[in-house]
Amino acid sequence: MKNMFPPPKSGTDRRDFMRTLSVLGLMGLSAAFPELAARAATVEPDSFLLQPNGWVPNNPQLPVLHYRQVMTPDEARSSADRFERLVGEHGWPAQWRAGIYDYHHYHSTAHEVLFFVRGDVELVLGGPGGRHVSPLAGDVVVLPTGTGHMRVSASDDLLVVGAYPRGQQWDVCTTAPTAEMTQRMRSLPFPEIDPVTGTGGPLPRLWKRV
């Protein structure tokens, strides 16, 4: 398998990408893509908690969410733009289209939404010895801050859209968090709107802090 290219990191790339999304966002999702909005509103994700694992903090408060078949694989292949519109209107704007890093890492500054546009992939969530998952094209996985993840294998055509709560910028962490990072992750805010299903969706209920 070839190595997946990383998300855009330069400020210029990000500004150009977000400017494009702003143009696409001039029309409402429900009016532009009513069939997608209707289907997304009915999806209930699988959820599971991951406990700390060595240097990987994971997130013992907020579960990983796996939304299966938000779109069919055939629909997903041509729907990256539509998904970016969907999550953008829900307060989780997209920041990149790329693949998944092939080493264990986590994000301490952002929650992450991954939409699988095309290709086959196997991931490990939770750090070394963690949980293996194989999202299909059309699936969405939401990783709360601190969640370890890496790509084990992938087809050459893998394409993923990454989105984050508005105002949050992702980092890449490969060592144990400091006390300051741990405190930040414990209190990192998230929108009160589900990135996939919108207002009234399951994320605010499933991510209710204890």
Query: Helices 11-24 & 80-89, crossing angle to 10 degrees?
Result: 90
What phi and psi, each to the nearest 5 degrees, are found at residue 136? -95, 160
- Within 8 A by CB and 6+ apart from 74, the residues are none
Task: Return the domain boundaries, the chain.
Answer: 42-204
- Paired residues of 64 in beta bridges: 48
pLDDT in tens, 129-174: 999 999 999 999 999 999 999 999 999 999 999 999 999 999 999 9
Identify the CA nearest to 136 among candidates 68, 193, 188, 48.
Answer: 68
3-class DSSP state of 124: strand
What phi and psi, each to the nearest 5 degrees, are found at residue 89? -70, -20
Residue 91 CA, distance from chain mean position:
13
pLDDT in tens, 99-123: 999 999 999 999 999 999 999 999 9
Q: What is the pTM of this model?
A: 0.82
> Which architecture, in CATH terms, is 42-204?
Sandwich (2.60)
